[in-house]
Amino acid sequence: MSKSEGFFLSSGAFKLLSFFDLFLYLSYETLIMSRKIIFYISASYLLLFSKVVNAQLIVRLFVHDSTDHPLQSVTCIANDSIHTYSGITDATGRTVLHLAHPGTYDLHLSLIGYQRIDTQLQVHKSEETFSYTLQASSKKLSEIIVRTTNISISHDAEKFIVHFVNPHFIQGRSIWDILKSSPLIQIDNQDNLSILDNNQVIIYINGKRQYVDIDALIELLKARPADDIQQLEIVPMPTAQYNAPAGSAVINIVMKKFNDYTKGYVNTRETFQSLLSESISAGLSHQKNKWSYSIDLSGSNLADKFISKSSLTSTSKKLAWNMQDTVTRKKFYNFTASFQVSYQAGENSQLSFSHFSAYTYEDPSYGNNVSWVRYTMNPFSSIDLTTFNRQEKIRFYRSSNVFEYNLNNSVKHQSLDMTIGYVYVWNYSMYQYHFQQFSNHILDSSARFLQELPRLNNTFFIRVQYSWLMGKNIHVDAVFQFTHAYSRTHSLWSDVSIDIPHAIDSLDVLYQFPEHIYETFVNFNIPFGKKFTASAGLRISHTDDDGKLYQASIYRKHYNNLVPIVQLNYHPSENHELSYSLESGVNRPSFWDNAPIFIYSSAKEIDQNSSHLENEIYFKSMISYTYRQKHVWILYNNYAYHALTGYQSYPEVDAKGNLVVSRTNLKFESLTYLYYSSNFSLFKGFWNLNPQVYIAYNISRGKDSTAFLNNRRLFSAVVANNQLTLSKSQSLYAEVDATLRTPAATAFIRYKRSDLYINLSLMKHWKKWDIQLSANDLANAERHQLTESIYRDPATYSNYQGYNLMPSFQIRISYRFGNQKIHAPGVNTQGLQGIEERL
């Protein structure tokens, strides 16, 4: 989903936002301070917060029936009117809740076929165990009308929590499958991930950030089974407790926690979409006494074939051409490895170490971009056809090592988290270009060029976080973080048209980019009674950059940034939750956006960087309402002053008729977004429906050389995720996902047609085996989509169309082993059958 897919904003409100952002900008410039002052503020924060607390309590629940047999799949929900915690009992009748503070909680236990329990839970110690007995219902199971839904949604402070009530909703599927069908999360057919149209998403697993390349992380999530997911935490505007860049969003995947176990999985995926892709993955985790280990391995051969067509007409230049690109790409030895080990050093302290590696190999004989252009009007020369072939050679390696220390002392009311990490990235890319020009179908000229891009990046960071309880109710988080990064790219162009290659000196450049970032965060979470909570945070950062080109600095060296965040939450009753969030800050163009590097996309299209880009000031606000942990309404606005364009960049036609695309700043861009999601259980649980609907309005206005741009569009989408229980006795399930989206617009792009995406999957569980058959994008929606670009010259227009040749078909086979499910002897089989009736 692009940045243009948003909400309606009236012109009066628009002027108000523009004025307010101008006020924020002036305030920001007024508050610019030196590096020393920020350092003193950071030191003061750390000194002030050295005696603080926010301890997590561990509560273990054991649920059994009147014969003391454990009950599986009991829904357990604890609520303190502000926070909601949930769990589902396993085969031993146990689950674990991690509560934020001691006190009284409302506890709800329910299972179809048994009488529900609604009671109060008194928690005083750091670790406690409670036992409950569910009495069988007087009704026969056949008389019970099942209304079980797959998920429930609650809002806790800054995050939305998706609770998975129905275990069959996640069993046999991958974590990536679960993300695709979860509310607030959008994933397109190209695996682009976003939250409320924000594609800067940081992934956490069990509260720990994953320092992983996003493509490699997606492959890991596709491989890892979702059976052990307890809940998803979706954070559109993260506060100080999250290690995430300003303006980003966070997804925290919370896994179920077991004691004294060994479990693992092996799965394989075969995907066919014109070409065959293969993947095999395996994972093993173990916990015993104070030690726990986890390792995940994944290897794949990925292949795809992509067609793009475009046409350009400029009557003022008397130029017109049609172009078609065929991109064939195969990546061999795509290997990822993840390893984590944790040691419980004491009752309140834990040490952990995590390592991740990813390696990708792409050979030039397998990565081809074949392009041809046929001129229908060309006054510049007698050329009537140009062909282009780009072969890619890629070597990519990424490694991250992170050490964490956590201290949680519920007696002394102190909490300390310390993280030290190092990330190393090495990337070698080589592009071979072969141009041929024809006159009347006779070869007129030929040229070959070679571009080499060896790149190196080293990043070191240290983060210290204190949390405490100020007084009786005020929770405070304070963070200091230092980051050092060094990047270097050597771009070498050579002319290989003749037998002896020679370098093109004017394009032989060396980029150097050392960077130091000093950041401090503070966040206050203040409850006013049991119904209202306010959260206020501030991020202050100072950055030293020294981006050099030809040993000369081309980048602003020192700058500061302030990011205020305000969040309000109101819970008038158990069924109603209201929240308001506000965030403002500055997005700066990176060094690589300004460095003059360019790549030929095809025969007539050139991607190049801009020589100068300005900072973007953004202002995000969100109002949400949740009813009965089921219906969610969100009104969201993202307003950016001097907005930076992304893939929808500024197009121009040069004197030779080439299409040159580069990033630029707009005057402003505003996206307003009205969103609704819910879930329903129909026909006694046979059909579970999770609908999502949004209406969006986007405005893009240009400035200076792009002042001609005034792109406005109202559009909408309907998403229906359907899970069907075909046979409970045979453990056979189906899923149908359908998305209908009207034409959108953003920056210099307009979509001409509506999109219809249809995905189908069939899942079968048999003992420890899971089989999933999938068919994605059955309508091949992108083949019917047409994109129009907006030019300064009204006599110039172009269309673009890009698509895969056919839908994607996949088979996924997974095998799980170990003792993650313990079957107790003598369990009443009729009782277990009653549990199954709920599902």
Query: Which tops the pLDDT comparison, 490 or 381?
Result: 490
The two tokens of residue 442 are: 């006779």
**Sequence-distant (≥ 6) Cβ neighbours of residue 741 within 8 angstroms:** 5, 715, 716, 717, 718, 754, 755, 756, 757
Checking phi first, is residue 458 left (phi over 0); if not, alpha (psi -120 to 50) or beta?
beta
pLDDT at 39 over 80: no
The single-letter DSSP state of residue 706 is G
- What is the largest distance, in Å, between two alpha-carbon atoms of the chain? 91
- Residue showing tokens 């025969």: 603
pLDDT at 30: 39
- pLDDT band at residue 82, thresholds of 50, 70 and 90? low
Query: Which tops the pLDDT comparison, 219 or 9?
Result: 219
The strand pair at 57-64 and 127-133 is best described as parallel
- pLDDT band at residue 224, thresholds of 50, 70 and 90? confident
Average pLDDT over residues 439-454: 84
**Residue 765 within a domain:** yes
Pair 48, 56: CB distance under 8 Å: no
pLDDT at 372: 75
Report the alpha-carbon distance of residue 618 to residue 167 in Å, rounded.
40
**Sequence-distant (≥ 6) Cβ neighbours of residue 190 within 8 angstroms:** none
**Residue 95 within a domain:** no
Measure CA of the first residue to CA of the last residue in the chain; give whole Å. Answer: 34
- pLDDT band at residue 706, thresholds of 50, 70 and 90? very high
pLDDT at 18 over 50: no
pLDDT at 684: 79
- pLDDT band at residue 508, thresholds of 50, 70 and 90? low
**Residue 478 within a domain:** yes
pLDDT at 79 over 50: yes
DSSP E strands, 440-575: 442-470, 474-495, 502-503, 509-528, 532-545, 548-549, 552-553, 558-573
Among 6-15, 72-81, 115-124, 593-602, which stretch is predicted with the lowest mean pLDDT? 6-15
**Sequence-distant (≥ 6) Cβ neighbours of residue 453 within 8 angstroms:** 427, 428, 429, 430, 431, 489, 490, 491
Residues spanned by the domain of 43: 11-49+247-838
**Sequence-distant (≥ 6) Cβ neighbours of residue 357 within 8 angstroms:** 335, 336, 337, 397, 398, 399
The amino acid occupying position 723 is: Q
The amino acid occupying position 596 is: P
pLDDT at 301 over 50: yes
**Phi and psi (nearest 5°) for 678?**
-160, -175
Three-state SS at 41: helix
pLDDT at 472: 76
**Sequence-distant (≥ 6) Cβ neighbours of residue 556 within 8 angstroms:** 545
pLDDT at 88 over 90: no
pLDDT at 496 over 90: no
Among 73-82, 353-362, 506-515, 714-723, which stretch is predicted with the lowest mean pLDDT? 506-515
pLDDT at 41: 42
C-alpha separations of 299 from 223, 226, 322, 340, 565 in Å: 10, 19, 39, 19, 41
**Residue 167 within a domain:** no
Average pLDDT over residues 322-345: 85
pLDDT at 368: 66
Report the alpha-carbon distance of residue 256 to residue 329 in Å, rounded.
38
pLDDT at 40 over 60: no
The amino acid occupying position 519 is: E
The amino acid occupying position 72 is: Q
The single-letter DSSP state of residue 114 is B
pLDDT at 829 over 50: no
Pair 742, 716: CB distance under 8 Å: yes
Average pLDDT over residues 301-309: 87
pLDDT at 42 over 60: no
Maximum average pLDDT range among 260-264, 400-404, 435-439? 400-404
Query: What average pLDDT is seen over the chain?
Result: 80
pLDDT at 315: 86
pLDDT at 3 over 70: no
- pLDDT band at residue 162, thresholds of 50, 70 and 90? confident
**Residue 697 within a domain:** yes
pLDDT at 470: 84
pLDDT at 491: 78
What is the 3-state secondary structure of 204-241? EECCEECCCCHHHHHHHHHHCECCCEEEEEEECCCCCC
CA angle 753, 754, 760 (to 5 degrees): 135
Task: Give tens-digit pLDDT for 636-684.
Answer: 999 999 998 876 788 888 877 788 888 899 999 999 999 999 988 888 7
Among 26-40, 173-187, 280-294, which stretch is predicted with the lowest mean pLDDT? 26-40
Task: Give tens-digit pLDDT for 240-281.
Answer: 778 888 888 999 998 877 777 888 999 999 999 988 999 999
Report the alpha-carbon distance of residue 86 to residue 229 in Å, rounded.
12
Three-state SS at 176: helix
Pair 3, 646: CB distance under 8 Å: yes
C-alpha separations of 446 from 368, 386, 434, 608 in Å: 18, 10, 7, 23
**Phi and psi (nearest 5°) for 830?**
-70, -35
User: How many Cβ atoms from other residues are within 10 Å of residue 729's Cβ?
Assistant: 7
**Residue 153 within a domain:** no
pLDDT at 505: 58
- pLDDT band at residue 555, thresholds of 50, 70 and 90? low
- Residue showing tokens 């890009």: 802
Pair 394, 362: CB distance under 8 Å: yes
Pair 477, 469: CB distance under 8 Å: no
The two tokens of residue 558 are: 């020192």
The amino acid occupying position 26 is: L
Pair 792, 708: CB distance under 8 Å: yes
Length, in residues, of the chain = 839
pLDDT at 611: 66
pLDDT at 701: 96
Pair 184, 677: CB distance under 8 Å: yes
Report the alpha-carbon distance of residue 476 to residue 415 in Å, rounded.
11
Task: Give tens-digit pLDDT for 742-795.
Answer: 999 999 999 999 999 999 999 998 888 989 999 999 999 988 899 999 999 988
Report the alpha-carbon distance of residue 833 to residue 729 in Å, rounded.
10
Q: Residue 294: name the closest of 267, 247, 262, 246 by CA.
A: 262
- Quote the number of domains for the chain: 1
Report the alpha-carbon distance of residue 487 to residue 508 in Å, rounded.
17
Q: Residue 525: name the closest of 578, 571, 563, 567 by CA.
A: 567
Give the CATH number, domain containing residue 312: 2.40.170.20
pLDDT at 152: 75
Three-state SS at 177: helix
Q: Please name the helix (run of DSSP H) or strand (run of DSSP E) that holds residue 337, with its range, or none.
A: strand 319-343
Q: Beta partners for 769?
A: 766, 815
- Residue showing tokens 């929240």: 579
Task: Give tens-digit pLDDT for 105-139.
Answer: 889 888 766 788 888 898 888 788 899 998 877 54
Pair 638, 670: CB distance under 8 Å: yes
- pLDDT band at residue 557, thresholds of 50, 70 and 90? low
